[in-house]
């Protein structure tokens, strides 16, 4: 049945991955969340159920241009659809509402702000609406990169107006916390969450460290005559500067930013979409709802503030399935600018900390030497099994000259010998020979591999583990590491695994504690203190300090504010208001004789 609807209206014979699963969940009447990669046909997931259902499907959409494009596309397939937004005249609004009551169309697109209008609310009460679709559903969540309070505020209103309607929420960019937030707000059960990998094999990612960004962009475009592409810049001034620079070198381009008149924006967008102009230089105001299939490259002149925004923007490339390049350029000034705007924003300290955390992950992507696509996939779904893409800038890097097959084999042999799943921290502690409480408790110090990599620093073994995870030789799920089929390639064949050189060269030895992974007993104490503070202040625990910051406290055991401020996740506000509580816990723990025995003194290279 759904295949007949798919072919009749849209001309497709088969569904893309996960579309059928979402559609069947929606058709069953269940509130449903679908997270699909950009360009994977999310709209069909509510359009097909809407065509098969009685009455009108109400679509909540964030942008006027997005509504217009989707309504026009539906009409071209023979589906009756309308939108209500501020571009319409009063007589057109009246006509659309009259025709809605007459059952003249199947889909009505509106912005959430439309529900502030009492006339519209009365109109909705009279309609037969079995399904409400939230397009770009990440806008619902306060943790989403495009959070719109109106998207969240409208939910109780819709529940009151049409209590029997089912919800379907669709997005391409939802981290685990965003998914959970959407589920809570729309009452979506876990079994009705349908996730698809964000991985797109035709997108070739790279990071270019050049200081001559404008010259790089010019040379890149000159080598790809007539190729269609988007260049994103952080500010209107930079957009116009890049555009003028390219025009001076005879590169035909248009610009798009919020400072242009609506007529200019529409004209420039039309010229790009129809192929009249191959290149558009734009701020992030350009793109949502853009469905030009043959965009061959997207270049970011500046570092975005988070990976969600970056993925959303590069996702506009290669929608025809052909190879497209996504290149990130940046400078330290970009980071400083983001930090400045976060510090000066009107958001709560909790929100600011959340944005700083997102920026940190974006910076990590910009600096990592590991597979870029795997890095991004793991960001959105930490439990997804990944393998190296083989075609990103890092996978193809000529700097991957160090063969880490011996280190890889040591890690995997330890995992095979224990026969149990271990955390990263456990593996590091065993290989480095750290006799911590948790290692002794689990008798891991009795392993023949205990101390087999004692000359390696914690960060070096972290690097090895991350390479093995992002190359697919280990699966990291729910904080545990698991052997997989690809593990055997290393264990049995001792295959070569190349990475960037990471070993440090040292000339002398000093005596230091080997307890450089988190002390679990101390971590539990810090976690309990965080929970108590959060409850007292009415905050979420993660807004005080993240788990990663607490683990750093447990690992490094800072004893002063001067030491604490050096730890990632500690800013001036938290240093003053929260750190004294945690310093007290750390000092008490270190004064305990049992705690002092957690790390042995040992001569290791440094």
Q: Is the pLDDT of residue 514 over 50?
A: no
How high is the pLDDT of residue 122?
95
Over residues 87-126, the pLDDT tens digits come to 899 999 999 999 999 999 999 999 999 999 999 999 999 9
Q: In the structure encoding, which two tokens stand for residue 99, read together?
A: 């025709």
* Residue percentage of the chain with pLDDT more than 90: 61
Q: Is the pLDDT of residue 318 over 90?
A: yes
* Per-residue pLDDT at 54 exceeds 50: yes
Residue-wise pLDDT for 66-92, tens only, equals 888 889 889 988 999 999 998 899 999
| Predicted confidence (pLDDT) per residue in 23-37, tens digit | 999 999 999 999 998
For the cut 70, the answer to whether the pLDDT of residue 228 exceeds it is: yes
Q: What is the mean pLDDT of residues 120-143?
A: 93
Is residue 300 within 8 Å of 20, Cβ to Cβ?
Answer: no
Residues 541-568 pLDDT 10s? 777 888 888 888 888 888 888 888 878 7
Domains with residue ranges and CATH for the chain: 2-195 (3.40.50.300), 203-380 (3.40.50.300), 402-505 (1.10.10.10), 520-605 (1.10.150.80)
DSSP string for 424-459: HHHHHHHHHT---HHHHHTTGGGSTTTTTTTTS-HH
For residue 602, pLDDT over 50 is answered with: no
Q: What angle do CA 554, 519, 575 make, to 5 degrees?
A: 5
Q: What pLDDT is stored for residue 597 in this prediction?
A: 42
Q: How far is CA 552 from the centre of its chain?
A: 23
Specify the pLDDT at position 606.
34
Neighbours of 304 (CB within 10 A): 26
Q: What is the mean pLDDT of the chain?
A: 89
CB 67 within 8 A of CB 109: yes
pLDDT of residue 421: 79
Mean pLDDT of 384-399: 95
Q: What was the pLDDT predicted at 598? A: 39
The span from the CA of 594 to the CA of 283, in Å, is 57
The DSSP result for 225-275, as a single string, is: TT--EEEE-SSHHHHHHHHHHHHHTT--EEEE-TTS-HHHHHHHHHHHHTT
pLDDT at 346: 85
| pLDDT (0 to 100) of residue 505 | 54
Mean per-residue pLDDT, 378-393: 94
- Mean pLDDT over 306-311 rounds to 93
**Predicted confidence band at 179 (pLDDT cuts at 50, 70, 90)?**
very high
Among candidates 289, 299, 282, 169, which has minimal Cα distance to 224? 299
Residue 512 has pLDDT above 60, yes or no: no
558 vs 537, higher pLDDT: 558
pLDDT digit string, tens, across residues 416-463: 988 777 899 899 999 999 888 888 888 888 999 999 999 999 889 999
Is the per-residue pLDDT at 362 higher than 60?
yes
Question: Is the confidence at residue 604, as pLDDT, over 50?
Answer: no
């Amino acid at each position: 049945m759904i295949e007949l609807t798919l072919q009749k209206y849209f001309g497709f014979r088969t569904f893309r991955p996960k579309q059928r699963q979402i559609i069947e969940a929606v058709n069953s009447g269940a509130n449903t969340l679908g997270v699909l990669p950009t360009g994977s046909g999310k709209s069909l997931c509510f359009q097909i159920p809407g065509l098969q259902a009685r009455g009108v499907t109400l679509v909540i959409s964030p942008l006027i241009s997005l509504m217009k494009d989707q309504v026009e596309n539906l009409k071209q397939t023979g589906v009756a659809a309308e939108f209500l937004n501020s571009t319409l005249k009063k007589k057109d609004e009246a006509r659309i509402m009259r025709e809605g009551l007459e059952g003249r169309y199947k889909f009505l697109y509106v912005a959430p702000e439309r529900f502030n209008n009492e006339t519209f609310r009365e109109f909705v009460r009279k309609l037969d609406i079995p399904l409400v679709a939230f397009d770009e559903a990440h806008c619902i969540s306060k943790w989403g990169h495009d959070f719109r309070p109106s998207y969240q505020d409208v939910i109780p209103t819709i529940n009151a107006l049409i209590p029997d309607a089912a919800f379907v929420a669709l997005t391409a960019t939802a981290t685990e916390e965003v998914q959970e937030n959407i589920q809570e707000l729309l009452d979506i059960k876990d079994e009705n969450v349908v996730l698809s990998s964000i991985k797109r094999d035709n997108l070739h990612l790279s990071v270019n460290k050049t200081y001559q960004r404008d010259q790089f962009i010019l040379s890149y475009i000159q080598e790809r005559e007539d190729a269609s592409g988007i260049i994103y810049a952080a500010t209107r001034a930079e957009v116009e500067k890049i555009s003028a620079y390219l025009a001076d070198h005879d590169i035909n381009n248009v610009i798009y930013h919020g400072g242009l008149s609506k007529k200019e924006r529409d004209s420039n967008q039309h010229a790009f979409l129809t192929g009249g102009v191959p290149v558009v230089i734009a701020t992030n105001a350009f793109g949502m709802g853009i469905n030009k299939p043959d965009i061959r490259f997207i270049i970011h002149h500046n570092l975005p503030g988070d990976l969600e925004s970056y993925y959303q923007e590069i996702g506009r490339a290669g929608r025809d399935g052909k190879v497209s390049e996504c290149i990130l350029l940046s400078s330290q000034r970009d980071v400083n600018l983001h930090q400045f705007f976060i510090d000066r924003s009107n958001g709560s300290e909790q929100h600011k900390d959340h944005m700083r955390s997102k920026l940190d992950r974006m910076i990590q992507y910009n600096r990592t030497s590991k597979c870029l696509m795997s890095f991004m996939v793991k960001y959105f779904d930490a439990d997804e099994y990944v393998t190296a893409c083989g075609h990103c800038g890092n996978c193809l890097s000529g700097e991957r000259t160090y063969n880490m097959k011996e280190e890889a084999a040591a890690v995997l042999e330890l995992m095979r010998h224990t026969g149990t799943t271990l955390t990263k921290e456990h593996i590091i502690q065993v290989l480095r020979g750290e006799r911590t409480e948790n290692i002794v408790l689990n008798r891991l110090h009795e392993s023949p591999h205990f101390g087999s990599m004692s000359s390696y620093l914690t960060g070096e073994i972290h690097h090895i583990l991350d390479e093995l995870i992002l190359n697919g030789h280990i699966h990291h799920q729910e904080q545990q590491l698991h052997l997989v089929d690809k593990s055997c390639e290393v264990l049995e064949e001792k295959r070569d695994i190349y990475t960037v050189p990471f070993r440090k060269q040292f000339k002398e030895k000093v005596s230091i504690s080997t307890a450089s992974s988190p002390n679990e007993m101390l971590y539990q104490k810090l976690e309990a203190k965080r929970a108590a503070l959060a409850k007292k202040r009415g905050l979420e625990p993660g807004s005080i300090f993240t788990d990663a910051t607490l683990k750093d406290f447990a690992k490094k055991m800072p004893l002063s504010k001067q030491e604490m401020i050096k730890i990632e996740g500690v800013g001036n506000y938290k240093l003053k208001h929260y750190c004294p509580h945690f310093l007290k816990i750390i000092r008490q723990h270190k004064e305990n004789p049992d705690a002092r025995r957690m790390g042995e003194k040992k001569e290791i290279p440094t």
